[in-house]
Amino acid sequence: MAKEKTLYTCTECAATSPRWLGKCPGCGAWNTLIETVPEAAGAGKNRLSTPQYAGLAQAQAVAPLSSIEATEVVRTPTGLEELDRVLGGGMVEGGVVLIGGDPGIGKSTLLLQALDALQRAHLPTLYVTGEESGAQVALRSRRLGLEGSQVNVLAEIQLEKILATVQATQPAVCVIDSIQTMYSDQLTSAPGSVAQVRECAAHLTRLAKATGIAIVLVGHVTKEGALAGPRVLEHMVDTVLYFEGDTHSAFRLVRAIKNRFGAVNEIGVFAMTEKGLKGVANPSAIFLSQHSEPVPGSCVLVTLEGTRPMLVEIQALVDGGGPSPRRLSVGLERDRLAMLLAVLHRHAGIASSDQDVFVNAVGGVRISEPAADLAVLLAITSSLRARALPKGFIAFGEVGLAGEVRPAPRGQERLKEAAKLGFTVAVVPKANAPKKPIAGLTIHAVERVEEAMQVVRELA
Ligand code: TYD
Ligand code: MG
């Protein structure tokens, strides 16, 4: 069979060219041409030149929304509770999950454990590996203590062979580890290129939808932290999960970025052990470093990730800088840090323009909610003044540009969790102050940044 010719298509304007070009002949954008397989003859012809669609295809029946039966999706729990939590209850028939993360963080480990648990629940599974040999996967499974595992393994990187195998073996759940190693015969570009990743993911997604097989795609993350390959991958799939955490610490977070079958921002917490990943059922206290006495520059924040409150220590170091002081943050947004420093200066009169400011969320967690603002500011001022915050101190609340402290969602739950873990003093937004006192917790409700600074000055 003659090989089908490929076309280069612009991702911006969809103009095509038979050759790769740096500049799109249609819209003039640079570097937007990617290799694609041309549509089957007939399908695309005259599509644009004929305004009359009738006659080209049969009109299809439409139905009002209310008459369509809304069937609940069937979920199959993987047996790993923390993974099920982020998935919204388990794997969904025909659902496609993309899971991304740094190399070595535990993607393959987690998925092998999940497949084994599913297989032991008598669901046929298939693990397609493009990065390791079957022997290497077997070695890992022994290390994980998965004796006598019945998970089927296929070491293959050619998409067409994989599609045929999946169709022939009909697994309930299939893992592709990783999408960047797969390549389709239809394209000449190398595995891992945008065109290949897109093409392979599209075929696999179609297969999942057509057969009801749940497919998990493992994706690599670029240096910038985005999933390698086009963003379009995130649009194609039903669920996007990210592995986070510091590879030097044992804890790993799996976060749902997108989920058509559940809540987003839910997180699962795991600990990497000798025998693979173990779920951490009660993670609220794992992101605290253990100081025997309070130290300057540290403030504990109660953050709410998905449905669970967690306590995370925010550390700041403010130190005399050079002519252009640095602002660096790990686990928190840097732009937000610059904004907070400006608010601190303008509204509380605390200047740091000649200082280096470093901020870190302990344990490799990434905090995206603005409710961290107040804790960040308190950690910074504590470091600046070299005065520790009181023992058992927590804070949360969003800080606005006008210097106001805005409430955080579900403040009661956060305060209760802090009290449960033995924290005794809290500075919180006024609207989050509980009506009934919480046993063991002294609460200072504040409306403005300067008020918060005043409260802390009096406490310390
Ligand atoms: P892996 O799942 O191969 O990462 P990824 O697929 O995301 O690249 O994880 C490998 C790391 O996990 C490796 O550094 C060793 C560690 N590990 C353990 O600590 N315990 C274990 O039981 C296993 C299997 C791996
Ligand atoms: Mg791997």
DSSP one-letter string for 391-456: TTEEE--EE-TTSBEEPPTTHHHHHHHHHHTT--EEEEEGGG--SSPPTT-EEEEESBHHHHHHHH
Q: Which atom belonging to ligand 1 lies closest to the Cα atom of 112? A: 2
Q: What are phi and psi of 129, to 5 degrees?
A: -115, 130
Enumerate the β-bridge partners of residue 301.
Answer: 312, 395
User: In the structure encoding, which two tokens stand for residue 443, read together?
Assistant: 């609460």
Name residues with Cβ closer than 5 Å to ligand 2, which is an ion: 108
Crossing angle between the packed helical segments 107-120 and 134-143, to the nearest 10 degrees: 80
For the chain, the average pLDDT equals 88
The answer to whether residues 210 and 191 touch, using CB atoms and an 8 Å cutoff, is no
13 versus 168: the higher-pLDDT residue is 168
Sheet holding 33-36, edge to edge: 16-17, 7-10, 33-36
pLDDT in tens, 105-125: 999 999 999 999 999 999 999
pLDDT of 218 higher than 60: yes
Q: According to the annotation, is 22 in a ligand binding site? A: no
| Pairwise pLDDT comparison (317 vs 248), residue with the higher score | 317
Ligand 1 probe mutation, 272, 273, 274, most atoms within 8 A of CB: 272
Which range has the worst mean pLDDT, 50-59, 152-161, 262-271, 293-302? 50-59
- Cα of 319 to ligand 2 centre, how many Å? 40
- The predicted pLDDT at position 244 comes to 84
Say if residue 12's pLDDT is above 80.
no
Class of domain 76-281: alpha beta
- For the chain, the straight-line distance linking the first and the last C-alpha, in angstroms and rounded, comes to 80
Question: Strand, helix or coil at 316?
Answer: strand
Long-range contacts of 320-324 (CB under 8 A, 24+ apart): 320/354, 320/355, 320/356, 321/354, 321/355, 321/356
pLDDT score for 270: 93
H or E, element range at 84: helix 81-87
Position 230 scores a pLDDT of: 56
Q: Which amino acid residue places its CA nearest to atom 10 of ligand 1? A: 104
Q: Name the pTM for this structure.
A: 0.78
* Dihedral angle over CA of 365, 369, 372, 376, nearest 10: 70
Residue 418 is encoded by which pair of tokens?
A: 């802090």
φ and ψ of 387, to 5 deg: -125, 130
Q: What pLDDT digit, counting tens, does each position of 31-79 carry?
A: 888 888 876 544 444 445 545 555 678 888 899 999 988 888 888 999 8
Ranked by mean pLDDT, which of 12-21, 327-336, 371-380 comes out on top? Answer: 371-380
Query: 208, 214, 221, 215: which is closest to 180 by C-alpha?
Result: 221
Ranking 211-225, 362-376, 409-423, 434-448 by mean pLDDT, the lowest is 211-225
- In the numeric block, which tokens belong to residue 446? 């504040």
Please say whether the beta carbons of 117 and 154 come within 8 A: no
Question: The tokens 């402290």 sit on which residue?
Answer: 405
Domain boundaries, the chain: 1-37, 76-281, 298-459
* Spacing, Cα 358 to ligand 1 middle (Å): 30
Which residue, by CA, sits nearest to atom 25 of ligand 1?
A: 276
What pLDDT is attached to residue 231?
A: 65
Q: Are 196 and 220 in contact (CB under 8 A)?
A: no
Q: Please tell me the class of the 298-459 domain.
A: alpha beta
Minimal CA–CA distance to 378: which of 402, 401, 348?
348
**What is the per-residue DSSP string for 94-125?**
T-EEEEEE-TTSSHHHHHHHHHHHHHHTT--E
In sign, the C-alpha dihedral spanning 55, 207, 74, 218 is negative
**Token pair for 242:** 């990210």
Q: How confident is the model at residue 229 (pLDDT cuts 50, 70, 90)?
A: low
pLDDT at position 42 is 47
Helices marked H in 270-372: 334-348
pLDDT value at residue 394: 95
Nearest Cα to 309, choosing from 423, 418, 441? 418
Task: Decide if pLDDT at 3 tops 90.
Answer: no
Using CA atoms, how far apart are residues 195 and 202, in angstroms rounded to an integer? 11
Which pLDDT does position 221 carry in this prediction? Answer: 76
Q: Are 313 and 300 in contact (CB under 8 A)?
A: yes
pLDDT tens per residue across span 328-373: 999 999 999 999 999 999 999 999 989 999 999 988 788 989 999 9
Give DSSP secondary structure letters for 201-228.
HHHHHHHHHHH--EEEEEEEB-TTSSBS
Distance CA 126, CA 170 (A): 9
Q: Is 141 annotated as a binding residue?
A: no
Same CATH topology for 76-281 and 298-459: the answer is no
Q: Which amino acid is at 44?
A: G
Q: Which residues make beta-bridge pairs with 76? A: 91
Q: How confident is residue 273, by pLDDT bands cut at 50, 70 and 90?
A: very high
Q: Check residue 45 and give its pLDDT.
A: 47
**In Å, how far from its chain's centre is CA 279?**
17
- 323-336 pLDDT per residue, tens: 889 999 999 999 99
Ligand 1 atom closest to Cα of residue 218: 6
Kindly list the protein residues whose Cβ atom lies closer than 6 A to any atom of ligand 1: 101, 103-109, 140, 143-144, 272, 274-276
